[in-house]
Each structure stands twice: as C-alpha cells, then as structure tokens.
Amino acid sequence: MFKRLGVHTSRVSRSFFTRHLSTYPAGPSRSTHIGWTVAGGVILAIASYETIRSPVSLEEESPVTVSKKHGHTADPTAPTEYITLKEVAKHNLSQDAWVIINGKVYDVTNFHQYHPGGAAVILSNAGSDVSSLFNSLHPPGTIENNLSEESFKGWVDPEITAKAVAAQDAEKARVAAARGALPPVETILGIEEFEEAADSVMSRQASAYYHTGALDGISHAGNKDAFRKCRIVPRVMRDVSRVEPQTTIFGIPSALPIYISPSSNALLGHPDGELNMTRGAAKTGIVQGVSYVASYPLKDILAEKEVMDELIGEKMGMVFQVYVREDREKNAEVIREAIEGGCQALLLTVDSNVGDHRQSVEKMKGTTGSAEEGRKFGPFTKFTHGPHDPRLNWKDLDWLKAVAGDVPIYLKGVSHIEDIKIAKEHGVKGCILSNHGGRQLDRARSGFDSLRRIHDQEPSITKEMEIYVDGGVRRGTDVLMALALGARGVGLGRPFLFAQAAYGEKGTIRAVRILENEIVTAMQLMGISKLDQLRPEMIECLQEVWK
Ligand SMILES: Cc1cc2nc3c(=O)[nH]c(=O)nc-3n(C[C@H](O)[C@H](O)[C@H](O)COP(=O)(O)O)c2cc1C
C-alpha cells in the first residue's frame, strides 16, 4: 500500500524503526510477530507475504476499554497498555483513519490520499488489522519511509494477534523451504524459466503484482506476440568467428544491447531487491535502470553502486527513472540525489501521469470502490490520482532540463510518432517505445510495434535520435529484431524481477548470460559479427489486417 512519496515522507530515521523493534512487547509471541530484521545497517526482508486476513474479530475482544494493562511485562521497555480493537475500529473515516500493521496502530489520516495504490484500499480497511494485506504487497522499510513518528499510536495486545502471526510464520517457513528446493540457477536455460522459480518463493499477491497487466491484459500479452509476428532472414557464408555485441546504451558503454528496465518493488521478491540488480549489472557490464519508486532507498542503491564501481574498477552504468510528482521541489531533490550519486541519464516516464488500473491486483486487495448513487463527475472534474501528477505536459521538460543540467533525458513510454518528433524539438536525447509492460493503458500498442510503425513511416527518426524498446523481450532474437529495425537497445523488466526474486544476484547474472549467449549465437547464425551489420531487410513481419 505504501511507497515513498513526495509528501508526508518526513523520513523517520532507522532509529525510529529499531526503537520500535526493541520496545516490542515481551512474551510468547514476540519472536513470531515481526517479519523484518535489520542486519548490517540494511533492512532485510523476511516478511511473509501471506494471504491471510487477520483471524481476529471484534467479538474476540475484551470490553470496550480503550486500553488494558498487560500482566507479563518481563521487559521493562515493553508497553503496559494496549489499544483495543474496538478503539481502532472507531477510526474508520477518511478524516480519521487508523490501521493495525503487525501489532502496531498507525494513524493514516494524512497519508491515505498520497497512497500510490489509491486511497480507496486504505479507507475500505480503515479501523481494522491490515497486516496480511500490507505484508503481502509492501517491502520492509515502507512504514518508516512514509509515515511520520507521530503516526504511531500504540500497540495491540500480541495475544489477540497471535493467530495471525502464527500464520505469517508458517508462510515464512514455506518460503524458506521453497528457496531450499529451487534447482541450481545453472539449470535455468531461458529467461522465462525464472518465472516459475520465482513464483514458488513468492506470495500469491507479490507474484500477481509482478505478472499483472492493466485490465484485460491485452497489451501485456500483445508485447510478446508482437515479436512472434516476425521472422528473420539470415545471411550466410560470412566469417563470424569473432562477434561484437557491445554498444552504448543511454550514452554508456554496454557489454550487450540490453538494459535492466526500471521496476518498482524488487524487494517483494527477494530480501536484497534492487541491490541484486546493481551487483548483477555491474558484474556483467550492462546498465541498470533504477525506479523512482524502488523498494530500496535510493541512497542504499547509490552506495551499492559505489561499492561496485570500486570492485570492477570503473563506473558501472546506472540511469535513474523519474516520475513527476505534484511536489516538484521534492521531485528535484530526489533527481539531484540520483545525479550526484552517479546516475548518468534520466528516463522520464510519460505513460503514467495517473495511477495504474490493474483489476487482478485490485481484486486481491478486496476493495469495493463506491456504489453511491448520483452523478459523480461533471465536465473536467478534477481527479486526484495519488502521487502521480496528471498535469504533466511538455512544458515540464524545461523544469526537468534545469534540474538535470548536463545529464541527458530520455522519455520512457512513448508510442506515437508525433510525440517522438515533439520530444526531439524539446531537446530530448531519445525515446523508449513502451507501454509500461502493459501495466498502464490496456490496448496501448507494444513498443516493438511502435518501432515497426516508425520504420514504415519515417525510418530516419531512428538515425536522428536514440530509440529504445521495451516490453515482451524474452529472447536474444527479439533483441536483434528490434535493433535491425532501428532500436539502439532494449529493456527488460519482468525477466530481471523474476530472476532476482528466485536467485538474487546470481539470478540477475544468469539472466544476462542467457541473453548474451542467445544474442551472440543468433548474430552468428544471421551472418553478422557487429550490431551495425543488422539490416531491416533481415526482418519480415506479418502485416496487420488494416494495412
Ligand atoms: C512489477 C513492475 C514494476 C514496474 N515499475 C516501474 C517503475 O517504477 N517505473 C517505470 O518507469 N516502469 C516500471 N515498470 C515498467 C518496466 O520498466 C518496463 O517498461 C516493462 O516491465 C517492460 O516489459 P517487460 O516486463 O515485458 O519486460 C514496471 C514493470 C513491472 C513488471
């Protein structure tokens, strides 16, 4: 539910978090209550992503008291008073909303409107225990990164939540066993095989979050289909004993024409989250795209980059993806932090000016929305969309350019050829043709189909500015087909999320190695030894019926 936001993020220090850990009530359920731990200054996720709703009901609770004394306080720092479920239940309004998360009560009245997943899910659960829902979708660190210290209202008696805690522990044990049962990473032979491995170690909700597309999933499925429509016409009898798959991506030298497309919430899959990708990208020489809403704090990712730079003896490739928020000042602060930390380009995501619309994930949250009668919207009703800013428009590029200084800007999520031309006029370095992995506008054309369209209509564009593609790329041949039609490189989102979820850093490296092998072999079989020998004539695609 919660993610880092521009507003109300008065960052609570780690000491706030650890203090709360250390004051957690003593007693039998203490060791089973918390799904998080702190190691070496880094918060490690061992949160269980269980599907349970708390089995606690109001009926199970003792009288209407606001608090009750706890009898066994062996730990002098343990709370002696608890907030009753009945008291929490009273705070179930948008102007007064409390929730229970892992035995702690939080006031989210000033937060719910900024919740990236929408206010509705918080409000429909206000006044209740949302631990299972929360744990299944949020990485550790979420609370302290988003809620102020004052939001913490107190504790719920651990005896009351013991059943829910036990269920979460069972899930933790299941995940540990599933990780132990994973086959060696070297047995993964194609990047799509990571999905099954990752699904076995993730909760149903976390898997759904990674897999899902918007609404009917037409764009999501269409992304892979777009590549299936095409065939390669290889050349023969050429010396391909030496092959060079190297190129530059976003102006950064890259071992391969691929990059890790920025994706949020890597921590949902693995305790090291985005750091797995930082390490994997550095060690294989490809570029990592870091999401504006990465689950690890940006400063931790940048610190890991520094470690990697030292290790590999050069600057690893890292670019920062930008979401424009209503609070531009806070926005600028985050972007400057990324640049100062060594990010070499900015990818401005332009297909997400409002939040997503993913029915399958919504279903799991159990939100119902409104069923009130009456006309809700008039012409040009002003909508609020959580942290996204629906005002985003071309003029914002002047603001971003001023913040970026010399750092080049690329637009991520472009489909229409006219938008590419406007972007060029605004001094943007390049565009990423993408429909956000089919997660935003369902039925939006795939990035690869947009590339084909450009190639048909105005192929010179790919010479005038850098064009990238993402969405549905799963094989080395997909990469080469995109390059043959004018792309400089391609991004992969889900494959790296799943790879790191199942195998951590090793998964990221293995995914790169698999793609490297496929790219090099396909280049040889196509009769080319360098990427610039790829030609559009080597690709033939089924034409759409309307052509
Ligand atoms: C779970 C998930 C989270 C994502 N988060 C972001 C994000 O924070 N910012 C962004 O610009 N794109 C995000 N994307 C989109 C990816 O960058 C990329 O466009 C997409 O995943 C490409 O499609 P693919 O998954 O088929 O490779 C996300 C995608 C997924 C699957």
Q: Atom of ligand 1 at shortest distance to CA of 473?
A: 27
Q: How many domains does the chain have?
A: 2
Are 229 and 284 within one domain? yes
The domain spanning residue 436 has which CATH number?
3.20.20.70
What separation in Å is there between the alpha carbon of 497 and the centre of ligand 1? 9
Q: Are residues 161 and 46 in the same domain?
A: yes
Residue to probe by mutation, ligand 1, list 439, 440, 449, most atoms within 8 Å of CB: 439
Mean pLDDT score of the chain, rounded to an integer?
A: 84
Q: Are 297 and 275 in contact (CB under 8 A)?
A: no
Nearest-CA neighbor of 240 among 536, 521, 518, 483? 521
C-alpha 290 to ligand 1 mean position (Å): 11
Residue 67 is predicted with a pLDDT of 46
Q: Of all protein residues, whose CA lies closest to atom 29 belonging to ligand 1?
A: 263
Q: Which atom of ligand 1 is nearest to the CA of 413?
A: 19
Is 529 among the domain residues?
A: no
Ligand 1 atom nearest to CA at 492: 27
Which of 261, 410, 490 to probe ligand 1 with, by most ligand atoms within 8 A of CB? Answer: 261
> Could you tell me if 92 and 197 lie in one domain?
no
Are 514 and 188 contacting, i.e. CB atoms less than 8 angstroms apart?
yes
**Domain span at 79:** 14-178
CA of 155 to the centre of ligand 1 (A): 37
- Whether 520 maps to a domain, the answer reads no
Q: Looking up tokens 């000016």, which residue turns up?
A: 353
Instruction: Give the integer Cα–Cα distance in Å for 474 and 481.
Output: 12
376 occurs within a structural domain? no
Q: Residue 198: how many CB atoms within 10 A of its CB?
A: 25
156 and 253 inside one domain: no
Q: What pLDDT score was predicted for residue 14?
A: 32
Q: Whose CA is nearest to atom 15 of ligand 1?
A: 436
Q: Give domain status of residue 341, yes or no.
A: yes
- Cα end-to-end distance, the chain, whole Å: 44
Identity at 336, one-letter amino acid code: R
Q: Report ipTM (2 d.p.).
A: 1.00
Asked whether residue 235 falls in the same domain as residue 132, the answer is: no
Atom of ligand 1 nearest to the CA of 209: 1
Ligand 1 probe mutation, 203, 227, 263, most atoms within 8 A of CB: 263
Would you say residue 320 lies in a domain? yes
Of 295, 436, 470, 474, the one to substitute when testing ligand 1's pocket (max ligand atoms within 8 A of C-beta) is 436
Render pLDDT for 23-52 as a digit per residue (tens, 0 to 9).
Answer: 223 332 322 222 222 222 222 232 322 222
Walk along the chain (547 residues) in steps of 10 and give the mean pLDDT of each run. Answer: 34 32 30 28 28 31 39 59 92 92 92 75 86 75 86 90 84 92 98 97 89 94 96 97 98 98 92 96 98 92 98 98 92 97 98 83 70 78 72 96 98 97 97 97 97 95 97 98 98 98 98 98 98 97 73
Tokens 């269920």 belong to 167
Same domain, 231 and 92: no
Alpha helices, DSSP H only, in 118-262?
A: 119-123, 131-137, 142-146, 158-180, 193-201, 204-211, 218-228
Contact between residue 262 and residue 437 where contact means Cβ atoms under 8 Å apart: no
Alpha helix positions (H), 367-489: 396-404, 417-425, 447-457, 461-464, 476-484
Q: Residue 9 has what DSSP assignment?
A: -
Q: Are residues 220 and 126 in the same domain?
A: no
Residue 333: how many CB atoms within 10 A of its CB? 12
d(CA 248, CA 94): 50
Does the residue 160 lie in any domain? yes
Is the sign of the CA dihedral 299, 302, 308, 309 positive or negative?
A: negative
- Given a contact cutoff of 8 angstroms between Cβ atoms, the answer to whether 540 and 308 are in contact is no
Dist. CA 310 → ligand 1 center (Å): 29
d(CA 365, CA 120): 10
State the closest ligand 1 atom to the C-alpha of 438, by its place in the atom list counted from 1. Answer: 23
Annotation marks residue 8 as catalytic: no
Q: Are 444 and 470 in contact (CB under 8 A)?
A: no
Query: Bridge partners of 31?
Result: none
Is 109 domain-assigned?
yes
Answer with the one of 133, 152, 178 that is the final residue of a domain: 178
Q: Which residues pair with 410 in a beta bridge?
A: 347, 430
Residue 114 lies in a domain: yes
Does one domain contain both 155 and 210?
A: no
| Amino acid code (one letter) for 137 | L
One domain, residues 147 and 211: no
Catalytic residue, candidates 112, 115, 388, 436: 436
Q: How far apart are CA 198 and CA 540, in angstroms?
A: 34
Count the residues in the chain.
547
Domain end, chosen from 178, 210, 227, is at 178
Residue closest via CA to ligand 1's atom 21 equals 493
Same domain (yes/no): 245, 359: yes
Contact in structure between 85 and 156 (CB atoms under 8 Å): yes
- Does one domain contain both 312 and 402? yes
pLDDT of residue 546: 56
- Whose Cα sits closest to atom 30 in ligand 1? 263
How do residues 295-321 score in pLDDT, each as one tens digit? Answer: 888 999 999 999 999 999 999 999 999
Q: Name residues contacting ligand 1 (CB within 6 A).
A: 209-210, 223, 261-264, 291, 293, 321, 349, 412, 434, 436-437, 439, 470-473, 492-494, 497
Do residues 353 and 452 share a domain? yes
Boundary-marking domain end, from 130, 146, 178: 178
pLDDT of amino acid 74: 55
Residue 443 CA, ligand 1 centroid: distance in Å: 16
Structural contact between residues 317 and 344, judged by C-beta atoms closer than 8 angstroms: yes
Say which CATH number the domain at 78 has: 3.10.120.10
**pTM as predicted:** 0.82
Q: Whose CA is nearest to atom 4 of ligand 1?
A: 263
Cβ 321 vs Cβ 259: under 8 Å: no
Nearest CA to ligand 1 atom 6: 263
